[in-house]
Amino acid sequence: MIDGLGRHVDYLRLSVIDRCNMRCQYCMAENPDFLPKDEVLSLEEMAQLARLFMGMGVRKIRLTGGEPLVRRDVMTLIETLGEDLAQGSLSELTMTTNGSRLAHFADRLAAAGMRRVNVSLDSLDSATFSRITRGGQLEQVLDGIAAAAGAGMAVKINSVVMPGTEIAHIDRLIAWCGRQGHDLTLIETMPLGQYSHLSHPAQSLDDVRRDLEQRWTLAATDYRSGGPARFVTVAETGRRLGFITPLSHTFCDSCNRLRLTCTGRLVLCLGHETGTDLRGPLRDGASPDELRAIIQAALNRKAAGHDFLTPALREAPQNHPMYQLGG
Ligand code: SAM
């Protein structure tokens, strides 16, 4: 798929549910308004749309949420997409998860063909973890990560660097990832959830990186994950460390992704627009050709870059909070 600006798009982030069993401060309110169930696509509708996108050129699908592993029967969708992997119509199926239910699912995910998972983990201190996630249990997440690695999946850890994040927490994550054999990616807080008022990077990762360089040897690498992160190798651990910097350094020029919310809205840019409804046409019986035409028209309008830093977006109520968009 080629968008209106000539960018090659082959990656779909599919949010399977808005609900989550954690309440991360930077993502959602303490008592969020979750969507009525009939607004959320069924797993069959998700598989149908995913296959339509594959037919148009999507090669990689990442399941996200909310928390994908709290969706009832989510394995049926994963096993269906696993068949597409086996047949070669999909090259990669991955997931971003908070890890709390991974211990239960890891073997089945691996059996369905999943080779990699990203696990969000912002601190290895259980009290800090519980405060950030408003009640998450660190031990469950660590057990989940161990189970995923035990099932043969590569685990990448994602950590959001928030206003006030202590650098010692990041040092500890780097050292732990080194011992466990996981890569780590640091993410700048985007102006959403509790931080929707931010008008500049709350904590630019440039500053964090300079601080880390006092203690770690960060060697340049050409490695690219296919996403927005820019990586270095930590010489002391041999693991990669990535930086996702949507605010301090945008990476929209090479954006290769689409997002489908759990309500069936196709969102072309995380920080831009309200998206295009696919659920209505799908439920009204639109043909595959009609759906493809709607998708291509939306793709032609894909924005050149996000609007996180413009007053209009900052002042507008968020159309799609992160837990509906899936990050
Ligand atoms: N529940 C899963 C998880 O915790 O990974 C998947 C959904 S979560 C919305 C996906 C990603 O978005 C996570 O890595 C999370 O840290 C990130 N995220 C959520 N809100 C964010 C924000 N305001 N700024 C930066 N990243 C954010």
Convert the pLDDT of each residue in 219-269 to its tens digit.
999 888 777 788 999 999 999 999 998 766 666 766 788 999 999 999 887
Mutate to test the pocket of ligand 1, among 17, 121, 187, 196 (most ligand atoms within 8 A of CB): 187
Structure tokens at 197: 């008022």
Mutate to test the pocket of ligand 1, among 14, 21, 24, 189 (most ligand atoms within 8 A of CB): 24
Of 6-20, 97-111, 128-142, 192-206, where does mean pLDDT reach its minimum? 192-206
Q: Compute the distance from residue 266 Cα to the ligand 1 centre, in Å.
A: 18
Q: Compute the distance from residue 322 Cα to the ligand 1 centre, in Å.
A: 7
- What is the side-by-side strand order in the sheet with 183-188? 218-220, 230-234, 240-244, 183-188, 154-161, 116-120, 92-97, 60-64, 11-15, 257-260, 265-267, 276-277
Both ends of the chain: CA-CA distance in Å?
Answer: 21
114/83 Cα distance (integer angstroms): 11
Residue pLDDT, tens place only, 34-91: 999 999 999 999 999 999 999 999 999 999 999 999 999 999 999 999 999 999 999 9
Residue pLDDT, tens place only, 89-122: 999 999 999 999 999 999 999 999 999 999 999 9
> Which ligand 1 atom is the nearest neighbour of the CA of 119?
5
Q: Compute the distance from residue 74 Cα to the ligand 1 centre, in Å.
A: 19
Q: Which residues contact 324 (CB under 8 A, 6 or more apart)?
A: 15, 18, 35, 66, 261, 262, 263
Is residue 120 within 8 A of residue 99, CB to CB? The reply is yes
> What mean pLDDT value characterizes the chain?
89
| Protein residue whose Cα sits closest to atom 25 of ligand 1 | 189
